[in-house]
Chains A and B, each alone.
Chain A
């Protein structure tokens, strides 16, 4: 990567995405070894700066950095000077002044990683900004699909659910279409963004006819924490219309994949038994996440500084 930051999937372009996926192959091999650690980023420091809750992304980035022999520093908002009223810029500049090489940033507001990138000398990696983007999630999803289906070229991918609040959907649409997949968004009108102009997608408000032709059913998490106002009559009604129930899962063609970025709302957007069925690659997504993030950190920090 010639870039110093990973803020959006759009920064990578098709070639950049392919390069990350290629390097990920090597890190999958590293992760499978008895000693899953290489000295590639010895002496580099990676800070995870999470202003929003996270289990998998944060642990995944930390595991990735450690497997590359980088040092990891952890920032917990709840026990930091943010609680004394320190503003974002001062917090970030303080950490940068300690001499770090990469900041992995998650924040509830869209655009924060861009702002941070303008303030610091370190590489900034967007680990999710509001309802905007989550590039490493899209990369690990591409890798997982490629692993199972060989390529994304010509695949029909249905992204189902709370598109409006989903950064996973935005990054996913960019990455999947860049690699040649056809994306259909399936959601009730209230859970779609106000405008989809310029998005290279088709939209459907009905799930069943899309599922019967889908190669991938990508179920989004219902983001209750971002919902303001009443967008849905009830959760039960949502599940009836847009949840991947056992009946709907049976509509999927043979070999179709079921994906979910986690954390699961079992019984809402996906039935518990569907998450555990053979076509479900949800745990592969998590496993591949570490290798993909190793590739991203290596490409950003391994090159000429």
Chain B
């Protein structure tokens, strides 16, 4: 049976070796605060806004963003937060072993909500494409927006983020690792 893909282990095996840290934990905290303010500004508050983190890197970020939204808007009801694993909607099934990282958990109906998809790194855009298809099966959101901690470029699909922690120019063969202690850029050593 195939190895499970697990962050921060690179998807196709090998070990991640960091070259430089590009965001510290404090930088990330500030970026989350800024993105939270942008979400509030863009949607004129947080009424009708839900956050859905993509498994696995987007899930903790979605939780932190929700906490920040509740703090700055001092809302009486918590912002709904869910998690989504879009493995079964990917277009590379059959090209490599793909095992779901975790179970999808969306405990609320999407109809009538504005969904902010949250992920750690935006790269080719294929994960977001799969997530958009998956969301369809859970209901019809009024609008879907995309928040990412790092946009590293190299898009293969017409997808752009609405909220970005940091734009980070990378080479295609590099790897970006996002953890609670910060964002690092490096490469995979086999």
Contact = CB atoms under 8 A, between A and B. Distances in A.
A39 B104 CA distance: 15
B1 to A, nearest CB: 4
B121 to A, nearest CB: 22
A304 interface: yes
Contacts, number: 67
Interface string B104-120: 11000000000000000
A299 B97 CA distance: 8
Interface residues of A, number: 30
B76 interface: no
A49 B160 CA distance: 47
Interface string B1-35: 11010000000000000000000000000000000
A201 interface: no
A12 B1 CA distance: 8
A19 B137 contact: no
B94 interface: yes
A12 B88 CA distance: 22
B89 A303 contact: no
Interface in A11-54: 12, 15-16, 19, 22-23, 25-26, 28-30, 33-35, 37-41
A1 interface: yes
Contacts of B105: 29
Counting contact residues on chain B (CB < 8 A from A), the size range is 20 to 34
A104 B93 CA distance: 21
Given A16-B1, A40-B88, A26 B100 contact: yes
Contacts of A33: 137-138
Nearest to B104: A29
A302 interface: yes
Contacts of A22: 4, 99
B87 A26 contact: yes
Contacts of B134: 38
Nearest to B109: A34
B88 A38 contact: yes
B103 interface: yes
Interface string A206-236: 0000000000000000000000000000000
8 contacts: A12-B1, A16-B1, A22-B99, A23-B99, A29-B105, A68-B88, A299-B99, A304-B97
Given A30-B88, A37-B137, A38-B88, 9 more contacts: A1-B1, A2-B1, A15-B1, A26-B103, A38-B89, A38-B134, A39-B88, A302-B93, A304-B94
Closest 6 CB pairs of A and B: A38-B88, A40-B88, A26-B100, A303-B97, A1-B1, A35-B137
